[in-house]
Amino acid sequence: GAVVSQHPSRVICKSGTSVKIECRSLDFQATTMFWYRQFPKQSLMLMATSNEGSKATYEQGVEKDKFLINHASLTLSTLTVTSAHPEDSSFYICSARDHGWSGNTNQPQHFGDGTRLSIL
């Protein structure tokens, strides 16, 4: 089945550091990828929609300059948390949907295993 690889799985770094998280679709092309944030014991909150070859669409309240998204190819999207601070500590999850050759939009999203970011 479709697989989404997310790397790294865990990051611990000092305040002020910028952290890049990669999300790759391994066996399918993903024109659209999604980035979510999950706080402990809470649901996933959509941060932004990443579109290949164009600017990402951010949800209300998400700082574009804080969370930089790049989707340079059909299999890779990156999320960079710039100048991270302790309040940015969270579990970040990406997902991608396989349109298939027919452009079928009814396929489920496939999720990466998430990245646990801890800012000291």
Partner 1 sequence: AQSVAQPEDQVNVAEGNPLTVKCTYSVSGNPYLFWYVQYPNRGLQFLLKYITGDNLVKGSYGFEAEFNKSQTSFHLKKPSALVSDSALYFCAVRLLTHDMRFGAGTRLTVKP
The residue ranges that bind partner 1 (CB under 8 A) are 4, 6, 9, 32, 34, 42-44, 46, 49, 91, 93, 95, 97, 105-106, 108-114, 116
d(CA 64, CA 5): 24
d(CA 64, CA 12): 22
What is the signed CA dihedral for 97, 102, 106, 107, rounded to 10 degrees? Answer: -40
Minimum gap (Å) between residue 111 Cβ and partner 1: 4
Minimum gap (Å) between residue 72 Cβ and partner 1: 20
Nearer to partner 1, 30 or 81 (CB): 30
